[in-house]
Every structure is written in structure tokens, then in C-alpha cells.
Amino acid sequence: MCGLLGLVCASENDAAKARDAVGRALRCQRHRGPDETDTWADGEVVYGFNRLAFIDLEHSHQPLTWGPPESPERYTMNFNGEIYNYLELRAELAEKFGAKFATEGDGEAIVAAYHYLGTAAVGRLRGMFAFLIWDSERKVVFGARDPFGIKPLYYSKGPGGIAFSSEKKSLLELAEPLGVEEELDRTALQHYLVLQYVPEPASLHTGIRRIESGCSFTVSPGGELVTERYFSPEFLARPVTSPAGAKALHTEIAEVMQDSVAKHMISDPDITVGAFLSGGIDSTAIAALAKQHNPNLITFTTGFEREGYSEVDVAAESAAAIGVKHVIRTVSADEMMEALPLIVWYLDDPVADPALVPLWFIAREARRHVKAVLSGEGSDELFGGYTIYREPLSLAPFEKVPGAVRSLLGKVSARIPEGTRGKDLLRRGSLSLEERYYGNARIFRDDQLRGVLRTFTEGVGHRDVTGPWYRASADWDPVARMQHVDLFTWLRGDILVKADKVTMANSLELRVPFLDSEVFRVASRIPLDQKITKETTKYALRKALDGIVPAHVLNRRKLGFPVPIRVWLRDEMYDWARGIIADSRTEELLDKRAVQALLDEHKSGALDHSRRLWALLVFMIWHGIFVENRIKPEIPEPQYPVHV
């Protein structure tokens, strides 16, 4: 787990001009790899690397050079991530092709696979990754990002060439030598205020984009970037026709999860791997399975000293039932307000998910004990865990209503005052799935956004983001379509961004066993009635984990890390929020008086605007850091031991 930087310049002269900025760019992502820092160059290609070492600690340095016996220095690679099947892959390449390896690490397995298997090698990798491989003979860079987007990969292109990085802020340091424009992307801002994240492949800077999850690419010095999708997740469920068939499915789920967790525990013997633990089934299952491989497992949870906003007690009960050491970190409103500018700096782009703040604090605490943690991200998208996935069941009666009547119901809903019970049910029942389902967060509706966003553009909406994924799943059942949309929007735009950014901010590697190619292979075949019932979600997973997960958690609804911003913005955080609005220089983009009116209406208790306010406040802080250069968080140097 590391931070990579790669420049493919238009000429050697352009590469020389960019070299001075490489050091600054690497310092921006020092937190991603405090163990080692190194650079490398070959004509038009320049690499920089920050290493967080886990496997083959004394070797496997990067940038890594490898080649076959006849050309031993042909390839040079920058690689961020972990390959969990690298031992099997190395053995296969050695047996079939006579591949030779100089290290014991996973990096050489990627390069050797590319040499012997070509671009198809990326489909053989089981893990999380973003990498660049320079072929000095063909003069081309081949790169890829993992199937689900666990690890980030940004790029920017200008007259001087193209640059890739694990951190967007590093590319901002390279903008001038590459000739990249740094304008704010107003379309991306509009999407952010609706979805609470900036959807891939965009960023909030027009000159910086992201390689999408499940994509590979090639680029040559002075040439164009050519991308190709190598992974397209498909949910191909077939009905389970008998109790024996259902039992076999549950057994298969349990076995693949046991295998995935075992592989995700891999590290050097000197490295300790822990686990995050909330009160839900996902993290509890991961911790229980991890305990089988590490009897001294340490788990971590966070919460707040406010009733209804903490899973600390449930998590502690789970830790006791599993038999693991447990660490708790509670977070106050004052700590959140103080830490938020620094967290936003680490994020690169705003993510208006309040849960990332307590996650940052528990990651910081965990890094004092371990160097890597397992977590439960991805379970809901693969196994049907979100409560909203049950909505097609509750809205089924509307499907029988003629289109004209459904349209009339929508008009009736529009006349009902905000906050009235049943208003949103009528509105959503009047809409098709493609119209109503944005993903797991819906912050501003268009009618609400028009009054706040001065740059509102008619015709820009969530279907610009979700449309391609709905078209690709047109023949699937509605829950599978919602899962598919979430894999390409909510998961990689919110869940995995916050997980990567706040853990790596603390030089802590986060591993997600649910987001594994073999786990997805099994999950993609789960039929609808084994995912969602009238009583529960993730039905098949719960059955599979019976006997692994403690009984008090098995059928409990997941809360994650709930954050009390609704009450805090009416009390402890009101003056703080008012100050952010007053100081922000976003008048050209936002109607600040309308934002303040939202805050005051929220304080009065008339309506709950907490999520909308949080999205606006996070953006204002982001703008103060990256556009105004007015807010300057003090960035700490990593102070962690090299090997824990």
C-alpha cells in the first residue's frame, strides 16, 4: 500500500522541466508511504514512489525493475495495493514460462504476468491495485485500476504530457510544468450537491480526472491515453429451486468468505493486521473470521457520547463474544470541527459523508496499534444490504397504477408541504426506478438546488451519472439494477473514497475482503429472494454466517458510524457553521444568504437540513483550501513506526 506518481512526458525536455515539481508532488502524499521514498527516470518517463511496506520488507523496493533473462531491465513499475493471489500467480508463471523472480513480493508477479500474458494479465489479479508499467522496448506505459475502485488513480493531461498519481493534490503541483488548466468543474459541483460525492471519472478540477474502476489503459510519450474496460460486473442470478440448493448456496458463501479473509490477512510476519468493528453483521463477520488466523486480533470502533448515535456497546459485546482485544475511540463535536479542514485536505475532493470524520479518528487510533485493518465495505452492494433495496417491494402497488395516474400522484405530492408524512412516498411511487434511484444518497433535489446554486444548469442531473449503468442492466430485476448502479456510483464515489483517504491519511492500510473477485463471483449468482425479504436484507449472507457471527448481531440492522450532525448543527456546531458561511468566498457559486437561511431554519427545528448543510459546509471548506488558498491546515509529518 503506497502512493505512486508517474509522468509520461511529451519529450525529454518536458520531463526535465517537470522534475523539480516531482519532489513537491511526492511530499503531498508522504502519508501514503512513510517507509521509503524514491524516484526513477528513463527519458520521457519519470516515476516517484512513497512506500508503506507489508511484504518482503527488505526488498521489493519501488519503482521496481524486472524483465525476462534476455532483457532483465525491460519493465519498470509503480504499484499501489496488494495482490492476494501473488504466490499462486508466481508459481504458475514459473511453471509455464520459466519466469524468474529476484524478490519475494507481489509486485514482480504483476510485471511478469504482463510480460507473459499481455494485457489479459490484469484479469488474473485478485486484490486491490493501481499500477503503471513502463515497457522500455515498446515505449509504452500499461496501467490499470482494480475492478471495484478500492485504490485511486488520478490523471491530468496537458501539452507537456500526462501525469498519474494516487493523490489529486500531487497533480496540482505538476499542473504548471505540464500546462494543465485548474478551473473548477461546475458540472461536477452540481453532481456533488445532489449525490454528496463527485462521480467518476470527474474531479472538481476540469484538468484532473480519474481512471475508472475496472479499467486498464495504455499511453506512449506524446500520445493519447487509450482506456479499456476489463471488468463489467454482472448479476446473473438464477432461482434456488429447493432447500438443498439454498443450503448449498449458503455454504458456498461461507467458504468463499473464509478464503477471502484468509488471503486478506497476508503480510510479513512482523506486520500486525487488525479490524474495524461496528455493531453490524459485515464488520463482525470479518473480525470473527480474522480471529481464526490471528488469535491476538485487535478490533477498533468509534462512537459518540449521545444516545442513538453510537454502536460502541454492541461492538464491545461482539468483541467479547469473538474473544478479541477491543479499542474504543469516542469523538466530540469540538474534535470534529477542529479536524474537518485537515480531513478535507486529505480527501482531495469534497465528500459530504459525515461518517468519514469518526472513521478518521478511529483510523488514527488504530495506527498506534497496527499497520493494516480489515473492514466490511462492499457487503451491502454485493449481497443486497441497504434498506432502500427493499423499496421495490414497498412500491410494488404503484407499478400496477396506469402511467397517467402515477403522474397525477407526483403532482399531488408536489403540493403537499415539506415534512408531511407520505409526501415522499407519493413522489417516489410516481417515478420509474431510473428516475427515482440516484444511489444511497440524495442531498438536494433540483427544486431545492436552484435556490442555492447560482450556477445551476438545467438538464444536468443524476441520470447523466446513473444512465449508462441502468442501460447496461435493463433486463435485470430492480434490486440487481440498484446494486449495479451503486457499484459504479455510491461504492466507488463515497464508500471507497472515504475508506482509502482517511486510513491512508494515517498511513494505515485498509483491506476489504468482501470486495474480492471470488466473493463477487458467488454473490453475483444470488437470486432476489435470497437477498431481500419483507423482514430483512442480505438474507443469504445472514444464513451463511449463522454460527460465525454472534447471535445478537446476526439479524441486527447495520448503522455503521452514525454521526449526530442533525442535533449538533442546531446547537454545538451552529456558530461554527455560521462562521464558515460568512468567511467563504463562494458568492459566485452559491447564494450565501440562502445557505444561511437553511442553517437558521434547521436550528429552529422546522425542517431537517443537516445533510444539505453538511454538503455545503464541506464544499466551502474545500474551496477555502484548494481555490482561495485561505484555509491552510497544518499537515503533520507521519510519526508512525516503520514496521508495526
Q: Whole-prediction pTM value?
A: 0.94
Say if residue 594 is exposed, middle or buried (CB neighbours under 10 Å; 0-12, 13-18, 19+): middle
At 425 the pLDDT is: 79
At 558 the pLDDT is: 58
Q: d(Cα 59, Cα 270) in Å, to the nearest integer?
A: 15
Q: d(Cα 352, Cα 343) in Å, to the nearest integer?
A: 11
Cis peptide before 636 (omega within 30 of 0): no
Do residues 111 and 90 touch, judged by C-beta distance below 8 A? no
Do residues 66 and 108 touch, judged by C-beta distance below 8 A? yes
Residue with cell 397504477: 401
In order of start, what are the domains of the chain with their CATH numbers?
Answer: 2-229 (3.60.20.10), 243-385+488-548 (3.40.50.620), 565-626 (no CATH)
Confidence of residue 58 (pLDDT cuts 50, 70, 90): low
376 annotated to bind ligand: yes
Over residues 185-224, the pLDDT tens digits come to 999 999 999 999 999 999 999 999 999 999 999 999 999 9
Distances in whole angstroms, Cα of residue 506 to Cα of each of 155, 165, 208, 372: 23, 18, 24, 11
Confidence of residue 526 (pLDDT cuts 50, 70, 90): very high
Over residues 2-14, the pLDDT tens digits come to 889 999 999 989 8
Q: Is 2 a catalytic residue?
A: yes
Q: Taking 60 as the threshold, does the pLDDT of residue 641 lie above it?
A: no
Asked which of 13-17, 80-84, 130-134, 522-526 is least confident by mean pLDDT, the reply is: 13-17
Over residues 284-331, the pLDDT tens digits come to 999 999 999 999 999 999 988 766 666 788 888 899 999 999 999 999
Helix axes 168-178, 12-27, angle to 10 degrees: 150
In terms of average pLDDT, the best of 61-70, 289-298, 433-442 is 289-298
72-85: average pLDDT: 94
Question: Of the listed 2, 9, 28, 215, which one is catalytic?
Answer: 2
571 annotated to bind ligand: no
For 612, the grid coordinates are 444539505
Q: d(Cα 125, Cα 612) in Å, to the nearest integer?
A: 40
Task: With H, G, I as helix, E, B as strand and everything else as coil, classify residue 233.
Answer: coil
Q: Taking 90 as the threshold, does the pLDDT of residue 353 lie above it?
A: yes
Over residues 363-391, the pLDDT tens digits come to 999 999 999 999 999 999 999 999 999 98
By C-alpha distance, which of 422, 312, 76, 349 is closest to 191?
349
Q: Taking 50 as the threshold, does the pLDDT of residue 508 lie above it?
A: yes
Over residues 546-591, the pLDDT tens digits come to 999 998 888 776 555 678 999 999 999 999 999 999 999 999 999 9
Over residues 140-186, the pLDDT tens digits come to 999 999 999 999 999 999 999 999 999 999 999 999 989 998 899 99
Confidence of residue 644 (pLDDT cuts 50, 70, 90): very low
Q: d(Cα 14, Cα 103) in Å, to the nearest integer?
A: 33
DSSP for 559-584 reads --S---HHHHTTTTTHHHHHHHHHH-
Residues in the chain: 644
Task: With H, G, I as helix, E, B as strand and everything else as coil, classify residue 351.
Answer: coil
106 annotated to bind ligand: yes
Distances in whole angstroms, Cα of residue 221 to Cα of each of 43, 121, 182, 514: 9, 23, 22, 38
424-451: average pLDDT: 87
**Which has more pLDDT, 123 or 402?**
123
